[in-house]
């Protein structure tokens, strides 16, 4: 009997939680990734990315909650999940004197590949990752970018339908990062479903379809990259400098007025400037400027800049580390 292909979400986390003592490394995280799409898992150090990826990859058990790959539980069906999944860890051990071909051959054998099938997969991986010319080169002589390709190749050797990539872009130079982006997009176009993590939203923005922002174990926001970009268009960073003879009093009055406005968030004051996030566009900017001027406050400067994806990331996360 031929098994019917799985048509549900290819990756699914349901209230996934992992506690280490008092630390909630992963705290009720839920999301879905459909087939052929790339999900960017973004968060600062210690956010819980690696722990949740390791649970999905059958290397760690949750405290509670579920992780599924093509409908199979990573907890109850680890062997079946491993056949379908390739995991690229954030750091990987190598034998420095082993060459690239030997390294890939070792992993092909450990996945039970034999004969022509093993030769065919080795060839495909070396061609796809651009490692063919380096097949005989010892791993100790590889650049960071080439090592990353080798590790990606290792995770692809058994032709998995799902890839979990833990910070593959870390430490890559701009060219290697562009090449990684092309590789990821080619894999997604080939129908692979990919979960990829990073500290940096902009690093992944060009490679992923959706992002989830995680901090201190909690998933704080999920959105499409376009949705994230829309958030950047709808919010701006405004800096106002109040000058003149009554600068100090005027500044306090301005802060009080701004605090009462629905379009103003996250006010910060330094010696000279009042800075805040403005939710909205030109009408809101005009309204604020008119109110400050009508109150005859000494507005010496009013600067508006678009928010970047990094600003959105900083706004969503609080910067706390556990």
The yes or no reply on residue 94 touching ligand ATP (CB under 6 A) is: no
Nearest distance from residue 46's CB to ligand ATP, in Å? 4
The yes or no reply on residue 63 touching ligand ATP (CB under 6 A) is: no
The yes or no reply on residue 149 touching ligand ATP (CB under 6 A) is: no
For ligand ATP, the closer CB: 90 or 284:
90
The yes or no reply on residue 20 touching ligand ATP (CB under 6 A) is: yes
For ligand ATP, the closer CB: 160 or 212:
212
Among 14, 23, 237, 246, binds ligand ATP (CB under 6 A): 23
Cβ distance 295 to 257 under 8 Å? Answer: yes
The yes or no reply on residue 25 touching ligand ATP (CB under 6 A) is: yes
In sequence order, what are the residues at sequence separation of 6 or more whose Cβ sits closer than 8 angstroms to the Cβ of residue 9?
32, 33, 34, 68
Cα–Cα distance for residue pair 293/313, rounded to 1 Å: 33
In sequence order, what are the residues at sequence separation of 6 or more whose Cβ sits closer than 8 angstroms to the Cβ of residue 146?
131, 134
How many chain residues bind ligand ATP (CB under 6 A)? 14
The yes or no reply on residue 277 touching ligand ATP (CB under 6 A) is: no
The yes or no reply on residue 165 touching ligand ATP (CB under 6 A) is: no
Cβ burial, residue 187 (10 Å; 0-12/13-18/19+): buried
Cα–Cα distance for residue pair 276/239, rounded to 1 Å: 7
For ligand ATP, the closer CB: 17 or 99:
17
For the window 178-217, what string marks contact with ligand ATP as x by the rule CB under 6 A? ---------------------x------------------
For ligand ATP, the closer CB: 54 or 236:
54
The yes or no reply on residue 48 touching ligand ATP (CB under 6 A) is: yes
Interface segment toward ligand ATP; rule CB under 6 A; list 41-49, 62-70, 148-156, 201-209: 41-49
Nearest distance from residue 224's CB to ligand ATP, in Å? 22
- Residue 144: strand, helix, or coil: helix
Nearest distance from residue 235's CB to ligand ATP, in Å? 26
Among 13, 29, 37, 49, binds ligand ATP (CB under 6 A): 49
For ligand ATP, the closer CB: 25 or 157:
25
Single out the residue of 56, 78, 76, 60 nearest to residue 11, CA to CA.
Answer: 56
Nearest distance from residue 63's CB to ligand ATP, in Å? 12
The yes or no reply on residue 317 touching ligand ATP (CB under 6 A) is: no
Instruction: State the alpha helices, DSSP H only, in 190-244.
Output: 201-204, 225-234
Single out the residue of 49, 45, 47 nearest to residue 60, CA to CA.
Answer: 49
For the window 280-309, what string marks contact with ligand ATP as x by the rule CB under 6 A? ------------------------------
Helix then strand count (H, E) for the chain reads: 11, 14
Half-sphere exposure of 44 (CA within 13 A, CB side): 14
Strand order across the 64-69 sheet: 23-33, 11-20, 64-69, 72-73
List, in sequence order, every residue forming a beta bridge with 222; answer none if it has no partner: 212
Among 9, 40, 43, 89, binds ligand ATP (CB under 6 A): 43
Q: Ramachandran region of residue 281, left (φ > 0), alpha (ψ -120 to 50) or beta?
A: beta
Single out the residue of 164, 147, 170, 145 nearest to residue 45, CA to CA.
Answer: 170
Among 37, 51, 99, 263, binds ligand ATP (CB under 6 A): 51
Q: Which residues bind ligand ATP (CB under 6 A)?
A: 20, 23, 25, 43, 45-51, 90, 199, 322
């Amino acid at each position: 009997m031929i098994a019917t292909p799985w048509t549900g979400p290819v990756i699914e986390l349901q209230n996934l939680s992992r506690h280490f003592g008092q630390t909630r490394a992963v705290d009720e995280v839920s999301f879905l990734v459909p087939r052929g799409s790339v999900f960017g898992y973004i968060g600062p150090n210690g956010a819980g990315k690696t722990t949740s990826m390791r649970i999905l990859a059958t290397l760690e058990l949750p405290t509670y909650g579920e992780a599924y790959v093509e409908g199979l539980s990573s907890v109850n069906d680890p062997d079946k999940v491993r056949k379908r999944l390739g995991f690229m860890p954030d750091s990987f051990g190598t034998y420095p004197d082993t060459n690239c071909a030997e390294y890939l051959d070792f992993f092909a054998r450990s996945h039970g590949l034999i004969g022509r099938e093993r030769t065919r997969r080795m060839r495909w991986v070396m061609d796809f990752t651009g490692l063919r010319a380096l097949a005989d080169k010892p791993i100790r002589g590889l650049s960071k970018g080439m090592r990353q390709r080798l590790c990606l190749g290792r995770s692809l050797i058994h032709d998995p339908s799902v890839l979990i990539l833990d910070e593959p872009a870390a430490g890559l130079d701009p060219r290697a990062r562009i090449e990684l982006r092309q590789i990821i997009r080619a894999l997604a176009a080939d129908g692979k479903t990919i979960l990829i993590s990073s500290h940096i939203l902009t690093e992944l923005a060009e490679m992923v379809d959706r992002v989830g922002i995680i901090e201190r174990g909690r998933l704080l926001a999920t959105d499409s990259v376009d949705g994230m970009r829309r958030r950047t268009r709808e919010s701006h960073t405004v800096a106002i400098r109040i000058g003149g003879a009554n600068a100090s009093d005027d500044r306090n009055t301005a802060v009080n007025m701004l605090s009462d406005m629905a379009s103003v968030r996250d006010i910060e004051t330094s010696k000279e400037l009042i800075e805040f996030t403005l939710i909205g566009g030109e009408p809101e900017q005009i309204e604020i400027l008119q109110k400050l001027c009508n109150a005859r406050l000494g507005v010496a400067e009013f600067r508006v800049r678009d928010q970047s994806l990094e600003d959105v990331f900083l706004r969503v996360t609080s910067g706390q580390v556990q």
